[in-house]
Each structure stands twice: as structure tokens, then as C-alpha cells.
Amino acid sequence: MVDPSQAGMVAVGAGLAVGLAGIGAGLGEQAIGAAAVGAMAEDEKFFGKGLLMTVIPESIVIFGLVVSLILLFVF
Amino acid sequence: MLKPTKMTRVVIAGTKDTIEPVISTLHSLNMLHITDYTEENEDFKIGRPLKPASKLSEYLLSLRAISSQLGITGKEPASKQSSKELPSRIDEKITELQKEVSSRFDELRGIEFKIKEKEDLISAVKPFFGLPLSLEAYQGYETIKVYTGFISDDIEPKLLKITNNYELFTGEYEKRKIFALFIPKTYEDEIQKLLQDERSYVELKVPELKGNPPVILDQLTNEVSTLKENHASIRSELDTIKKEYSDFIMASDEFLSIETQKAEAPLRFATSANAFIIDGWVPSKKYNELESRLQESTNGKAYLTRLEEVNEEEIPIELENPTPAKPFELLINTFATPKYREIDPAVMLFITFPLFYAIMLGDVGYGIILAGLALVIKNKFKTGGLNALASILLLSAVLSVILGVIYGELFGFPLFNIEIKGHIEEGILGIAAPAIAGLHLPIHRFDSVQSLLMITLIIGILHISLGLIIGFRNVTIGHGLGHAIYAKGSWMLILIGGVVAIAKLMPSLMSGSSIRLNDPAIMAGMGLALIGIILLIKGEGFISIMEIPTLLSNVLSYARILAIGLSSAGIALAVNTLSMDLFIKPDHVLLGGGIGLALVGVVVLFIGHLINLILGVLGPGLHSLRLQYVEFFTKFYEGGGRKYIPFGYNRKYTEE
């Protein structure tokens, strides 16, 4: 268990874990998303593949999320 | 279920005099996927369209022109029209309609043009209100030049330097100074230069009309309003025509499309001088029906042959699923059409998609609203993609209601009484939650994050394992067992081994106590994972090690099921707290802040929940889909099959 005086720091850490990971994933996804939309405009069949490619950087956020959940609820 | 419909390749041959009955039988059966004939050689050429084709497409063209001029859009028909009566009506009606509609349309165009012209004149005349002259006074001189325009400076002193033989009128229009200068033509060059140097000068053209500006304006305005009346009356005539003929036009459009399709069908056949051959695919269980119907309509003159040796790549894919799972084929086809020997995962989506969605949304109130919405959409669109989406939404929404009961949430308010720090907070129903099968409800989401996280990860492991098992089966069938063990078996071993080892390691990692690696379960798990890695490297090369972390991220990815749910519940809770505590019940007194504040509270409550509801469709929907596409499908799905498109038409406005 965390010392009450440090609980705030834990919360800040949890927020940073999700927030920063989210920014990173967003930066990664913007280029892929734009390209995927372009490909889809050419041929609609690319929807599935486009979605797949676009969400690849998202796993980073999930890592961040898991870290923050562990910080908040496990420690 | 699980596999695409079994197809039989069939070749139909006959003499050319039977081509029409064969085409119309095939068309009405709507079951033969025709393979287009493309390689011409000396004996066989691509067929020519039947005779009426060009006339039919001409009709279709003029009909579509009429329907776009009238602005007719497809709607559910009141009654179906018989296609026996249509041809005779089409002949006479289309020419007549075309004449009526296009003459009126030309008239409309003419009137619109005139209105534009008059309105331009009106705006040209208006500035001359500022000058005390009638319009004919500005024109028709032989030796005098007239300048009119806006100008803000006084030009008189400059004029006097040139000559005093002039007449200048000034006035104001809409707070801008306007002038008219009459001067002998001999000074033209000097005046031109003078005006060019004036920055504020804007030339005005005098419209070629006679009379006082206000009188002319009245006249023009009257003319415009008469024209507008005419326009409206022609429009209403067109609307009457539209109302009267809309059904007929939709039905004829369909009829002509069908007939054109039939007339152009020979373009897909191979034909010789006297015979034709159609190559295509038919669902195996419908073959007998196809054969008997064709024999019947041609008096046995058509010859059908079943070809046993086929190239699997060419088989068209028709997905085959029980009715409840049918809408999910849309999600499959959006991703990719499966190959003939691949597993069709629609049935699995039928279970997992709504389940993931419901675990994420999990609210009785939202669930009921979305179910209602889905029913409305289903009623409005009886077929097509929207209907399928609505069916998916309905299923997901109903499951969300059930999950909502388990979570005990109704629009974020507690459904049942819950005990918080010793005192009991009353829920909407005012009763304690029932315990079902030893499970004490409700499972409050914010209180049980840890166990719910565990559950979502377990769901993930199961889901990915299922994907790998299907992948194992697909690879075994496609490339043999050995390949399957290297490509999919290795991943299964890594997954199972990794899970066992980590599950055993986790408690001691968490508590920070020393790790005992000699635990048999950990040893076994690590051993399995190691064997898996070795198999993987052997099968896919050393670089495949790079892929191993993907498995971890895939499993963790299922944590989003919990995360989306928490955020949805969190927003609802925030909206409720905000509106209840601040506005509706400040200090636990209903209407404590007066009616005004309570109304603000109601608005906040409504808008907040509306936004959350919209997010509740998008978020869970997309993320549930993503888990299918990215985490599940990548384990087994290749796709790349050709869709089965039978030769025929789904009639909507006509009947045979």
C-alpha cells in the first residue's frame, strides 16, 4: 500500500501514463489514418486492412492504460 | 455455418434459338453466378446483345433523365406492378412524359434566366435613385460624353482647371456619393485621366431604360413577382406529375433495368455461329432445380454439364449462416470475403461482438434506448446494410440491458441499493440486488476494476486461442499439418506457456516478495513457451522473434473492454453528479435552488446523456469491431475470395 502522502503522485503518474501514451499513439496514427483514408477512397475494399493498420500504434495506449490501472488499483 | 456454400461449376450449352428462354429462366431463378467469357478464338466469340438492348437502354436513359428532373427518389412501393402490363404502358407513357416534363423544365429554365436578368437590372437601376434625372437623360448625345459613378472626393475644383463648360450632378446612394458629369467630347482624354487618378472612383453603367428610376423599379419588381408566380405554378404542375407517375417511373426503371440486363447477358457468353455456352457456378444443392427448370423452359434442348475438376481460386463465395448470424456477414465482407476453404467466422462474431459491446456499454437505460432505435431503423429499412447494422445493434443493445442489470446501472444511477461505507445508498428500484447462482449482484464496475481487468484479459486469451485454433485448421487444410504446427501451433504454445508462467509469477511480482523460479508450474509454462519460440524460429525464421511482443499487446488490448466501459460509466456518473448535486437537489433538497436551476440541471442531464449515448454507440461498436479485426482475424483470416453474384435481380417495384 502507498503512503497517503504519495497517493497524489500515484494518481499523477497514472494520468501521465495514459495521457502521454495517448499523445504518442495519436501522432503515430495521424499519418497512417490519412494514408488509409486515401487508399479507401481509391478502393473501398481497403477498409478492413486500413482499419487494421491505423490502430497498430494504439497498443501503446493500452500498455499505458494497463500501467495506470495497476498503479491505481493494485498498488 | 462456418463454411461458405458448396458450389458446383456448371456449363450450359444450347442452340441459339433457345438463348432467350434460357436467359429469362436463369434470370428469374437468380442462382447462377456467370463467369464472363473473355478469351475469343476462331470458334467462339463473345455473344452479341439481344435485339431490344439498344432500344431498352434508350428508354432507360430518358426515364432516368425524367426521374432526375422530377427529383424522384427510391422509397418503399405501395404496391408492386405487374411486369406483363408495363411494356405497353412504357411505350406510350415515356414519350408523353418526356415531352411534358422537359417542356416544363425548359420553361422553368427560361423563367429563371429572365428573373436573373430583371434582378440584375434592378440592382443596376437602384444607385440612380440618388440623382435627380430620368434614365433617358444619360444617353443619346452626339457631342457630349456622360460619366457616372461613385466617388468620395469633390472633383469640381479639378474640373474647373480643365474647363467650366460642363454640368455636374451629385447625390447619395446608401451613404456613398454618386455623380453624373456631362461634358463635351473634346475633353474626353483629360477627364479620363482625372478619373483614373481618383482612387475612390467606381464606374457605374447606366442601364438602357427609359423613365424615372423609382417608376422603373416598380415595374421591374412587378415583372419579377409575376415571373416568380409562373415559376411556382409550373413547379406545382411538375409536382403533380411527380406524385402521379412516381410509382410508374420507379417500376419502369426496374423493369427496364431487368430487361436490359437480360438483353445484354449474351455479352458474357461464348457463342459460335449457331450455339452458345454459359459457364458459371451454382450452389450445389440448387443444381437439380436449375437443371429441371432449364429443361422445362427449353423442352430439353439445353445441355447442362457438371465439371468436377475446378480451380478453387475461381469459386465464388456465398456465405451461409443461420438467420440470426446473417447480419454479421456484413462485418466479414467489409473486412474481406473469405476464400473457399477458409472458415467463415460470422457465427463467432454473432457471439463475441455483441458480448464485447455489452460488457463495454452495460447500462439498462442506454440499452433500452438503443434497442428502440435499432427497431426503428429495422422497420424503416427492410433490406440492405442498414438493416444488418440495426440487427447487430439490436442484439448488442439487448445484451447491454442484461449486463446493465448485472452492473446495476441505469443511466449511470445505481439500479439497486448499494452499501457504501456502512450506510445504504438507495437505488432506483429501491430494493437490494438479487443474488444469482451465488453471485452477489450488482458487480459495481468502479469497485471491481481489478477482477474485471482479469476477466477481460481471460476473455482476450480465450478469443485469441480460438483464432489460433481456427488458423491451425486453415493452415492444416491449405498447407499440411507440419506447416500448421510451425505457423500456429508455435504461437499457441507461447500463449499457453506464457499465460501459465505469468499467472504464477504475478502474485509474487505484485507483493514484491522473492520469486521462486523452481515452482513446477512456472517451469512448465516457460518450457512450453520456449518450445513454441523454437518452433516459431524454425518455421518462420529468426526475425519472427520480433513478433512475440505482439502477442502480449494483443492480449492486453482486451483491457479496452474494461476501459471503454469505465469511461462510459464515468461520464454518466459525472453528468448525474453535476446535475443532481448542483442544480436539481442542492444540499439534498429537491428544487433547493429554485425552478430555474433545476431546469438547468435537467438540460445538463439530457445533453450529457445524449453525448454519452452517441459515444456509447461509436466507442463500444468500433472497439468491439477492432478486437475482431485486429486481434482475432489476424490469427487465421486471409480473405481474397470472389463474391457470389447470381445473374438475376431482387425485384422491389415489380412482379413477374
Query: Chain B residues contacting A, CB < 8 Å?
Result: 334-336, 449-450, 453, 510, 553-554, 556-557, 559-560, 562-563, 625-626, 629-630, 633-634, 639
Percent of chain B past pLDDT 70, that is, above it, reads 97
Query: Burial, A8: exposed, middle or buried (Cβ in 10 Å; 0-12, 13-18, 19+)?
Result: exposed
Is there a contact between B449 and A69 if contact means CB atoms under 8 Å apart?
yes
Please tell me which residue, B222 or B650, carries the higher pLDDT value. Answer: B222
Cβ atoms within 10 Å of B510's Cβ, excluding its own: 11
DSSP state of B126: G
Mean pLDDT, residues A63-75 taken together: 79
Is there a contact between B345 and B633 (Cβ–Cβ < 8 Å)? yes
Mean pLDDT, residues B151-176 taken together: 84
**Nearest CA to B412 among B189, B566, B246, B596?**
B566
Predicted confidence (pLDDT) at residue B367 exceeds the cutoff of 80: yes
What distance in Å separates the CA atoms of residue B142 and residue B138, rounded to the nearest whole number? 12
pLDDT of residue B503: 85
Mean pLDDT, residues B29-47 taken together: 85
Reduce the DSSP state of residue B140 to 3 states and report it.
Answer: coil
What distance in Å separates the CA atoms of residue B611 and residue B619, rounded to the nearest whole number? 12
**Nearest CA to B7 among B306, B396, B384?**
B306
In angstroms, the first-to-last Cα distance of chain A is 6
Is there a contact between B132 and B139 (Cβ–Cβ < 8 Å)? no
Is there a contact between A66 and B449 if contact means CB atoms under 8 Å apart?
no
The string of DSSP letters for A4-67 reads HHHHHHHHHHHHHHHHHHHHHHHHHHHHHHHHHHHHHHH-GGGHHHHHHHHTTTHHHHHHHHHH
- In this structure, chain A runs to a length of 75
Is there a contact between A47 and B557 if contact means CB atoms under 8 Å apart?
no
Residue type, B342: E
Predicted confidence (pLDDT) at residue A1 exceeds the cutoff of 60: no
Q: Where are the beta strands (DSSP E) in B441-599?
A: none
What the block records as the C-alpha cell of B588 is 439534498
Is there a contact between B629 and A65 if contact means CB atoms under 8 Å apart?
no
Predicted confidence (pLDDT) at residue B514 exceeds the cutoff of 80: no
What distance in Å separates the CA atoms of residue B623 and residue B632, rounded to the nearest whole number? 12
Give the nearest partner residue to B510 out of A45, A65, A74, using CB atoms.
A74
Tell me: do B377 and B430 sit in the same domain.
Answer: yes
Tell me: do B395 and B525 sit in the same domain.
Answer: no
Give the best residue of B457, B557, B558, B560 to mutate against chain A (max A CB count within 10 A): B557
Give the nearest partner residue to A48 out of B336, B453, B560, using CB atoms.
B336
- The mean of the pLDDT values for chain B is 86
Beta strand pairing call for B202-203 and B81-82: unpaired
Q: Which residue has the cell 444469482?
A: B436
pLDDT digits (tens, 9 = 90+) for B105-160: 888 899 999 999 999 988 888 888 888 888 888 888 888 888 888 888 888 888 88
Q: Residue B173: which CATH number?
A: 3.30.70.2750
What distance in Å separates the CA atoms of residue B612 and residue B576, rounded to the nearest whole number? 12
pLDDT of residue B352: 95
Tell me: do B509 and B380 sit in the same domain.
Answer: no
Tell me: do B457 and B604 sit in the same domain.
Answer: no
pLDDT digits (tens, 9 = 90+) for B408-453: 888 988 888 776 666 667 777 777 777 776 677 778 888 888 888 8
> Distances in Å between the alpha carbon of A75 and those of A60, A62, A70?
22, 19, 7
pLDDT of residue B61: 86
pLDDT of residue B615: 86
CB pairs under 8 A between A and B: 50
The pTM (predicted TM-score) of the whole model is: 0.75
End residue of a domain, out of B553, B588, B621: B553
pLDDT of residue B77: 67
Give the nearest partner residue to B557 out of A49, A52, A62, using CB atoms.
A62
Is there a contact between B334 and A47 if contact means CB atoms under 8 Å apart?
yes
pLDDT of residue B297: 85
Residues A25-57: b if buried by 16+ CB within 10 A, e if exposed:
beeebeeebeebeebbeeeebbbbbbbbbbbeb
Is there a contact between B336 and A69 if contact means CB atoms under 8 Å apart?
no
> Which residue of chain A has the CA closest to B511?
A75
The upper half-sphere exposure of residue B28, i.e. CA atoms within 13 Å in the direction of its Cβ, equals 13
Tell me: do B413 and B473 sit in the same domain.
Answer: no
pLDDT digits (tens, 9 = 90+) for B259-284: 888 888 888 888 888 888 998 999 98
Within a domain: residue B545?
yes
Q: What is the dihedral of CA B281, B286, B292, B297, to 10 degrees?
A: -60
End residue of a domain, out of B553, B588, B610: B553
Tell me: do B563 and B491 sit in the same domain.
Answer: no
Task: Please state the three-class secondary structure of B413-452 as a single string.
Answer: EECCEEEECCEEECCCCCCECCEECCEECCCCCCCCHHHH
Predicted confidence (pLDDT) at residue B387 exceeds the cutoff of 70: yes
> Distances in Å between the alpha carbon of B267 and those of B23, B180, B282?
12, 73, 19
Beta strand pairing call for B144-150 and B202-203: antiparallel
Tell me: do B522 and B579 sit in the same domain.
Answer: no
The upper half-sphere exposure of residue B74, i.e. CA atoms within 13 Å in the direction of its Cβ, equals 10
Is there a contact between A51 and B556 if contact means CB atoms under 8 Å apart?
no
What the block records as the C-alpha cell of B161 is 482647371
Give the nearest partner residue to B453 out of A51, A55, A69, using CB atoms.
A69
> Which residue of chain B has the CA closest to A60?
B553
What distance in Å separates the CA atoms of residue B19 and residue B15, rounded to the nearest whole number? 7
Is there a contact between B334 and A62 if contact means CB atoms under 8 Å apart?
no
Give the best residue of A66, A68, A72 to mutate against chain B (max B CB count within 10 A): A66
Tell me: do B502 and B546 sit in the same domain.
Answer: yes
Within a domain: residue B42?
no
Tell me: do B361 and B423 sit in the same domain.
Answer: yes
pLDDT of residue B460: 95
Tell me: do B599 and B629 sit in the same domain.
Answer: yes
- The sign of the torsion formed by the CA atoms of B490, B491, B495, B496 equals negative
- pLDDT category at B76 given cuts 50, 70, 90 is low
pLDDT of residue B421: 63
Domain boundaries, position B388: 346-443+558-636
Angle at CA B533, nearest 5°, toward B530 and B535? 110
Helix extents (H) in B163-212: 188-197
Tell me: do B540 and B570 sit in the same domain.
Answer: no
Is there a contact between A59 and B556 if contact means CB atoms under 8 Å apart?
yes
Percent of chain B past pLDDT 90, that is, above it, reads 23
End residue of a domain, out of B205, B223, B240: B205
Within a domain: residue B274?
no
pLDDT of residue B99: 84
Cβ atoms within 10 Å of B82's Cβ, excluding its own: 12
Helix extents (H) in B265-383: 287-298, 329-335, 346-361, 364-380
What distance in Å separates the CA atoms of residue B450 and residue B455, rounded to the nearest whole number? 9
- The sign of the torsion formed by the CA atoms of B254, B259, B260, B264 equals positive
Reduce the DSSP state of residue B490 to 3 states and report it.
Answer: helix
pLDDT of residue A20: 95
> Distances in Å between the alpha carbon of B459 and those of B326, B463, B488, B632?
24, 6, 19, 12
- pLDDT category at B95 given cuts 50, 70, 90 is confident
Within a domain: residue B21?
no
Domain count within chain B = 3
pLDDT of residue A75: 63
Helix (H) or strand (E) holding B568: helix B559-577
Contacts of B334 in chain A (CB under 8 A): 47-48
Task: Please state the three-class secondary structure of B20-32 as a single string.
Answer: HHHHHHHHHHCCC
Query: Chain A residues contacting B, CB < 8 Å?
Result: 45, 47-49, 51-52, 55-56, 58-59, 62-63, 65-66, 69, 72-74
Please give the ipTM for the structure prediction.
Answer: 0.75
Tell me: do B183 and B170 sit in the same domain.
Answer: yes
Query: Burial, B558: exposed, middle or buried (Cβ in 10 Å; 0-12, 13-18, 19+)?
Result: buried
Within a domain: residue B340?
no
pLDDT of residue B298: 84
Is there a contact between B559 and A73 if contact means CB atoms under 8 Å apart?
no
DSSP state of B631: I
What the block records as the C-alpha cell of A8 is 497524489
Is there a contact between B568 and B615 (Cβ–Cβ < 8 Å)? yes
Where exactly are the structural domains of chain A?
28-68
Predicted confidence (pLDDT) at residue B519 exceeds the cutoff of 70: yes
Give the nearest partner residue to A65 out of B554, B563, B625, using CB atoms.
B563
